[in-house]
Amino acid sequence: MSQPLPLEGVRVIDLAQVFAGPACTRILADLGADVVRFESPNRLDVTRNLIITDNDGLDHFWHRASYFVIRNAGKREMVIDLAKEEGRDVFRKLVAGADVVVESFTPRVMENFGLGYNALRQVKPDLIMCSLSGYGQYGAMRDFGAYGMGLEPASGISSITGYRGGPPIRSGLSFTDPFSGFVGAGAILTALHYRRRTGKGQYIDLSEQEAAMPIMAAALLDCQMNGRLKERLGDRSEWAAPQGCYRCAGDDRWAVISCSDDAEFERTARAMGHPEWADDARFSTVLARREHHDELDALITEWTSQRDHYDVFHALQAAGVKSAPVLDGKEVLFDPHFRARHHFDVVDQPLLGKRPVQRHLAAKFTRFEAKARRPAPLLGEHNDEVLREIGYGDGEIARLKEDGVIAEKPNLPVPPQLVSMALKLPYDRYIEHRILQALEPDYREQLGIAE
Amino acid sequence: MTDRAMSGVRVVDCSQGIAGPYATKLLADAGAGVLKVEPPQGDYTRRLGPFPGDRPDPEASGLYLHLNTSKRSMTLDVSVPSGQVVLKKLLAKSDVFVCGERTSTLRAWGLTYDDLKSDFPDLVVAQVSPFGATGPYADYDGNSLTAMAMSTIMYNTGEPDREPLVTGGEPGEYIAGVQLWIGILAALENRARNGGGDHVDVSMAEAAAAADEYNAAMYGFQGAIRRRYYSRHIFGYPNDIMACADGHVVVIPGAGGFPSPLQPDTVSPMALLFENPDLDKDPLFQQMGERMVRWRDFEALVAPYLSTHSAIEIVMTAQALRLPFAYVPTAADLLVDEHLAERASFAHVAVPGDGEATVPGAPFKMSETPLRIEPAPRRGEANADVLLNELGYEKPDLTVLSDQGVI
């Protein structure tokens, strides 16, 4: 049974690469939009070549990259050389029949192609266009090169992340990338809402640095109101005590615990078999618990370190205490709750077989499902299909191919083996240095997705 | 009144804290009519601060002022039947009902989607909760910390021999808020095209896990389990924060920073930045893998330059060499940042009794319908207006509701 989807019939032209933009358009695709990606034959989306995926050293490695697949499932794709006038011609024809254009180049690129918003609205007056960039389309830093690993720090968040007394630290992933991509999806839905009512399109300038700044609000306000720079608190909180990440039984297993008030702490103490802690003068009030946090952490660790992190989680939650296991990339795939709620969909990916791809929109609905409905596209997979839809005949398509305007293969400047050698270590060295915990050859059997 | 992006959409928001209120702030700043329904003691962010001069004042809590811009406020105890009656009169006139409670709580109040859908078939019921409305953990409690713990992001943040580290600023709440906002907009779009209200169910844990870059993918495509390694990416070092003469910078070589086998006779941009062409011959410049595991040697190699140059000198020089380095600003730095000032990235809102505060402005700029950030409401300031003018209660009714602590 196919349920109607909210964005059915909406066509999105997607020039975005890597993480933020593709996360944005992945959500639009999951909501039913027809998302057509664009790549250049001369400059692949770098995630098609990301190392530490099973594309290494294989034929057609650009079809095999996990990073690319999870972010682009459900989309179609064309490979067109926009540096050629004929390529730009095709692009303009596509835009004339599209609703939304998303791009994530540095600001000068689309203008240099003559494909900025003002040019494109000539061919499609009610176009909605969203530019996602590191620092926005104007301002002193607009031309700055920007990678996700720089933008979380640039938004200020790293200045309030770190161990107590230690330096600022980035998250272990560039989380402001997907965060700004999500914000972009909401901004586009807002613009579509307005267009449905008024018939007017518009341009959206989304700076990743700016989009992440609301997370800094409390720190910004404390600085203004009290002239104070927030200290880095490790896993502790300004409001809750105790709060922390506690060692559990097993190798590098952990659980977090957070007590918002005296009653929650009393429940914690009882669950840990030490109801007397709640009457101990060192711990009976939130201020006392903050003062004696180290002592309390040692006592809590005595209890948690004897137990599996999931046992800690369930025992504390059963007692009415906020807690969670700290999950690694394998555990999240096996967690019964994530499984019950279908956080991962399985797509059947050409050359790779069945693979789990995470939801990018975590919202669940009763009338439709926001999920990946098809695998990620092969490079240029839909060149012919899309060209025919906009009226190109076989002869024209063949000529575009001959002239290198469209392609199904990349023009690689360097043999992939060379790139791979420069960019990665043999896996046993990653394990030796504990950058990887383990490599499990039977993972597909464990996941139940073996062929 | 000018036409705004979300003009005409009516939202009743019973959520407190960060996630739900951030979602409705994004609707309210875009022109939706958002009525914030606070418990009689007020949203709990009114007690979290920060407060001007550290003097607790529920009308001047910074977090509240930031998260509730452009809304109206009424007080109503929706946990008691008298309050639920008033709430349902409001829902009859609304498009969206937002709540931040677990299903067990909503069931006790008779306010789950299933309780409401027959009386309000076109209503979008948007629920954000720590683990979602269904599933084995649906009744469990949580916050940003538990969401980040479940997301795989926290496990991979921090030093290998220390505890995993949570990201500052309660990001799990904000990610969930943005996901709830998208969910509400998608449900409204679906209602406009296909008809009918819906239940939008957002789990904070799943919202944070949706932001996982490749931890689960590494297992699902290769059987590899990542472990935290100084918060560094698996595919490259440095890409890391390093100390400089007056603070920190993010050292990011980008695609073309280190020596390229394609251009053996060209000095690499990284070697130019560090003012030493010989660095290109060092295995630490030639091999990412070597850099990654011998990172202390790499740090020693670049420390003489970094420790004698300011963040501005380093970032400007690097960017001129097309190296995507970045700053590591503090809150104080952001408030005086020229780029952000030029972009009008901040908004200014009145603080009751304390002048004005600078809060984050629109998180995206729309050319036709720019977001507009109006001050947050005082607790219950719309009570009389809503009850008398919109719901048709009489003045004596207000006294009764007030005496019983319902409003």
Chain B within 8 Å of A323 (Cβ-Cβ)?
Answer: yes
Flag whether B235 is in a domain.
no
Chain B within 8 Å of A334 (Cβ-Cβ)?
Answer: no
Better pLDDT: A48 or B117: B117
Examine the domain organization and report whether A353 and A383 are in the same domain.
yes
Tens of pLDDT, residue by residue over B287-346, are 888 898 899 999 999 999 999 999 999 999 999 999 999 999 999 999 999 999 999 999
Examine the domain organization and report whether B188 and B89 are in the same domain.
yes
Give the per-residue pLDDT at B262: 75
Nearest CB partner across the interface for A214, out of B22, B176, B254: B22
A43, exposed or middle or buried, with CB in 10 Å at 0-12, 13-18, 19+? middle
Query: A299, A328, A357 — which closes off a domain?
Result: A328
Flag whether B314 is in a domain.
yes
Confidence band, pLDDT 50/70/90 cuts, at residue A418: low
Examine the domain organization and report whether A321 and A348 are in the same domain.
no
Give the per-residue pLDDT at A420: 64
Give the per-residue pLDDT at A421: 63
Chain B within 8 Å of A360 (Cβ-Cβ)?
Answer: yes
Q: For B102-109, which contacts have Cβ atoms below 8 Å and span 24 or more sequence positions?
A: B102/B129, B102/B130, B102/B133, B102/B138, B102/B139, B102/B140, B102/B141, B103/B127, B103/B129, B103/B133, B103/B134, B103/B138, B103/B139, B104/B138, B104/B139, B108/B79, B109/B78, B109/B79, B109/B84
Confidence band, pLDDT 50/70/90 cuts, at residue A56: low
Q: Do A140 and B338 touch (CB under 8 A)?
A: yes
Ordered DSSP codes for A370-389 = -S--S-PPPTTTTHHHHHHH
| Smallest Cα distance from A91 to chain B, Å | 23
A160: tokens are 């309030």
Give the per-residue pLDDT at A2: 63
Cα–chain-centroid distance for residue B237?
28
Residue B140, SS3 per DSSP: coil
Could you tell me if A308 and A250 are in contact, meaning their C-beta atoms sit under 8 angstroms apart?
A: yes
Examine the domain organization and report whether A320 and A429 are in the same domain.
no
Q: Do B363 and A210 touch (CB under 8 A)?
A: yes
Give the per-residue pLDDT at A53: 55
Could you tell me if B277 and B259 are in contact, meaning their C-beta atoms sit under 8 angstroms apart?
A: no
Query: B299, B330, B361 — which closes off a domain?
Result: B330
Q: pLDDT > 70: what percent of chain A?
A: 95
Domain CATH number, residue A321: 3.30.1540.10
Flag whether A4 is in a domain.
no
- Domain total for chain A? 2
Q: Do B329 and A147 touch (CB under 8 A)?
A: no
Domain CATH number, residue B27: 3.40.50.10540
Confidence band, pLDDT 50/70/90 cuts, at residue A58: low
- Choice among A177, A205, A297, A384 that is catalytic: A177
Nearest Cα residue to A387 out of A104, A87, A22: A87
Nearest-10 Cα torsion for A403, A404, A405, A408: 140
Examine the domain organization and report whether A52 and A83 are in the same domain.
yes
Examine the domain organization and report whether B321 and B348 are in the same domain.
no
In single-letter form, the type of residue at position A251 comes to D
Chain B within 8 Å of A127 (Cβ-Cβ)?
Answer: no
Q: Do B113 and A366 touch (CB under 8 A)?
A: yes
Kindly report the pTM of this predicted structure: 0.97
Contacts with B56 (C-beta within 8 Å, 6 or more apart), sequence order: B47, B49
Q: Which residues of B touch A347 (CB under 8 A)?
A: none
What backbone phi and psi angles, to 5 degrees, belong to B283? -55, -25
Examine the domain organization and report whether B323 and B359 are in the same domain.
no
Residue A248 has pLDDT above 60, yes or no: yes
Flag whether A253 is in a domain.
yes
Mean pLDDT of chain A: 94
Q: Give chain B's residues under pLDDT 70.
A: 1-2
- Scan for tokens 């005496």, then name that residue: B403
Give the per-residue pLDDT at B1: 46
In single-letter form, the type of residue at position B404 comes to Q
Examine the domain organization and report whether A382 and A282 are in the same domain.
no
Tens of pLDDT, residue by residue over A174-223, are 999 999 999 999 999 999 999 999 999 999 999 999 999 999 999 999 99
Examine the domain organization and report whether B314 and B369 are in the same domain.
no
Flag whether B4 is in a domain.
no
Give the helix/strand (H/E) hosting B360.
Answer: strand B356-360
Q: Tell me, yes or no, if A252 is annotated catalytic.
A: no
Average pLDDT of A341-356?
Answer: 95
Give the per-residue pLDDT at A264: 98
Between A and B, how many residue pairs show a Cβ–Cβ distance under 8 A?
Answer: 587
The ipTM, to two decimals, is: 0.97
Examine the domain organization and report whether B191 and B111 are in the same domain.
yes
Nearest CB partner across the interface for A147, out of B243, B252, B289: B252
Give the per-residue pLDDT at A46: 81
Examine the domain organization and report whether A377 and A261 are in the same domain.
no
Flag whether A171 is in a domain.
yes
Chain B within 8 Å of A199 (Cβ-Cβ)?
Answer: no
Residue A307 has pLDDT above 60, yes or no: yes
A431, exposed or middle or buried, with CB in 10 Å at 0-12, 13-18, 19+? middle
Domain CATH number, residue B287: 3.30.1540
B353, exposed or middle or buried, with CB in 10 Å at 0-12, 13-18, 19+? exposed
Examine the domain organization and report whether B191 and B315 are in the same domain.
no
Give the per-residue pLDDT at B353: 79
- Domain total for chain B? 2
Confidence band, pLDDT 50/70/90 cuts, at residue A50: low
Examine the domain organization and report whether A141 and A191 are in the same domain.
yes
Distance CA A277, CA B271 (A): 58
Give the per-residue pLDDT at A429: 84
Residue A1 has pLDDT above 80, yes or no: no
Residue B34, SS3 per DSSP: strand
Give the per-residue pLDDT at B260: 81
Examine the domain organization and report whether B58 and B179 are in the same domain.
yes
Range of the domain at A249: 243-328
Query: A300, A328, A356 — which closes off a domain?
Result: A328
Contacts with A432 (C-beta within 8 Å, 6 or more apart), sequence order: none
Give the per-residue pLDDT at A87: 95
Domain CATH number, residue A355: 3.40.50.10540
Flag whether B216 is in a domain.
no
Flag whether B225 is in a domain.
no
Antiparallel, parallel or unpaired: β B96-99 and B124-129: parallel
Examine the domain organization and report whether A432 and A300 are in the same domain.
no
Q: Do A179 and B239 touch (CB under 8 A)?
A: no
Q: Which residues of B touch A243 (CB under 8 A)?
A: 145
Flag whether A112 is in a domain.
yes
Range of the domain at B51: 10-211+344-403
Query: A328, A360, A381 — which closes off a domain?
Result: A328
